[in-house]
Amino acid sequence: MSLSLFFVGVYFMMLEIDFVIEFNLFSLSSVSLVSLFYIDWVSLIFMSFVLYISALIMNYSGQYMNGDLSLKRFIYLMLLFVLSMMMMILGLNLVSILLGWDGLGLVSYALVIYYQNVKSYNAGMLTALSNRVGDAALLMGVAWMSGYGSWNFIFYLSIDSSIMFFVVCFCILAAFTKSAQIPFSSWLPAAMAAPTPVSALVHSSTLVTAGVYLLIRLSPSFNEYLMGVLLFSSLFTMFMAGVCANFEYDLKKIIAFSTLSQLGMMISILSLGGQDLAFFHLLTHALFKALLFMCAGAIIHTLGDIQDIRCMGGLINFMPITSICMNISNFALCGIPFLSGFYSKDMIAEILSMSISSCFIYLIFYLSIGLTVSYSLRLSYFIFFGDFNIKSLVSLSDSVNKILINSMVGLIFFVIFMGSVLSWVMPFTPYFIVLPFFMKLMTVIFIFLGCIIGLELTKMNYFYNLLTLKVYSVTLFLSGMWNLPILSTLGLNFVFLNFGKFMHVSMDYGWFEYYGSGGLIYFIKFFTRSIQLFSISHLKLYLFLFVIYLALFIFLF
């Protein structure tokens, strides 16, 4: 399916064909509820990538989750995830997008809490509640678009009206929560509590890219103020993720921060008007990030569920195929020439160099590129070339994980060649790039600077009297995502938890209890006892009632 969708997508691209398919679900009076599917080369090629990556990850999950009692349930959840993403990609009606959007949020919660422990529950709740903000924003967008009598926003993108402005603002807020831009970044590393196959699927082509995809679709209606907000938020997200990854020791969290950094890069070039470039980087990033997570999963699986990179080292001697795959995907992530990541990253850097007149934005962007190389080198050094810090009981071999290796090798070819194939095939507006010699070399200069910083960080040991320990509070601030997890959890839920406690104690156990269930039960008991007196067969009672009825009858008539 993936292969056929890709070729159909290229055919649509060449002939510039778009299909809009409408299903009239039901009509009531003058209102018609229509489900709309928009099929063009963007949705077809994106779907082909999602299907190919998810197929390899399904195969990979069979071995990785081997021995899990509820493996079937896990696979069904993953399939639901892919189905929700398909709904999201094809729908250009805000309601059908909301169905896919909510499906992604719900299934991601179920997958994050898959390993049932307290850490997973907390991470799942943080993920779900952060994404609920975006769901509410999309609902508000649906409410605003009701003014047009239709939810098919694709037909109204060129209209410059206040309604469309508010709809776009709400959709940008929704995209920020899903793609984890500042200030909603804290859920992305927390979601690493999920099994590694889930992380590979979520961070490559599904959940986090849904926000970027929605922004690409909405981009024709952005004005300069919205583009400024997008640019600054995405640049700071890039920089923050790069800094945090250089301080992190959890293998999966480092790769999660790299995803955050790349999402920032996509949105920053999107905010400068490069929708095609953002989509190009979205596709190449999906390939090398899926491979990176699969390699990380193979290493964690082989080492007996160890995720701390300080407890690894020297793996190039024991797991050569995994090491080759991981290093190639790391090189693609860094933008090393002629791998898939290079074609999109280099173009993005050069277009940004031509578009921006601000030194601050220019510097932050190139620093983020340097930091990407830095944490990638640090990661490779700790895992493959560093000291052998592995516990002695672990049996190390690539041959154990044949199915995992097959899935990884299925991606290697695409990670190397797909960037150049897409750069030949995709219908870019021809970019005429004219830069001074020094600015042209800026990418290469910052890659080398990143290498030097990465080497310095790997060679630093605590007995060198680390400078970071002298400024411990600054280090904690930089490594802790600029306090975003604290702000988005303790800073917000403190008020709501206190309010919940107050309502529970004073209302549920207080006034509602007195005037509600407790008081009602007391009243019903009292009333029932009083009524029961009449059912006891006392002659006095019958005579008394007879006298009352007689008196009432005489009095009334």
Q: Which CB contacts under 8 angstroms, 24+ apart, belong to 337-341? A: 338/420, 339/288, 339/415, 339/416, 339/419, 340/284, 340/287, 340/288, 340/414, 340/415, 340/416, 340/417, 340/418, 340/419, 340/420, 340/422, 341/284, 341/285, 341/288, 341/419
Higher pLDDT among residues 553 and 496, named by residue: 553
- 498 has pLDDT over 90: no
- What is the predicted pLDDT for the residue at 507? 82
pLDDT single digits (tens) 402-451: 888 888 888 899 999 998 998 888 877 777 888 888 888 888 888 889 98
Class of residue 206 by CB neighbours under 10 A (exposed 0-12, middle 13-18, buried 19+)? buried
- What is the predicted pLDDT for the residue at 54? 92
21 phi and psi, to 5 degrees? -110, 125
* Peptide bond connecting 183 to the previous residue in cis, omega within 30 degrees of 0: yes
For residue 23, the surrounding DSSP H or E stretch is strand 19-28
Lowest mean pLDDT among 165-179, 290-304, 407-421, 476-490: 476-490
Whole-number percent of the chain with pLDDT over 90: 28
Global pTM reads 0.86
- 464 has pLDDT over 60: no
Average pLDDT over residues 334-353: 89
Lowest mean pLDDT among 360-374, 437-451, 533-547: 533-547
CB atoms within 10 A of CB 18: 12
Nearest C-alpha neighbor of 280 from the set 419, 472, 83, 73: 419
User: Two tokens at 25?
Assistant: 């679900």
Question: Residue 485 and residue 183: Cα distance in Å, rounded?
Answer: 10
- 77 has pLDDT over 60: yes
For residue 499, the surrounding DSSP H or E stretch is helix 490-502
- Are 433 and 355 within 8 A, CB to CB? no
pLDDT band (50, 70, 90) for residue 503? confident
- Are 357 and 470 within 8 A, CB to CB? no
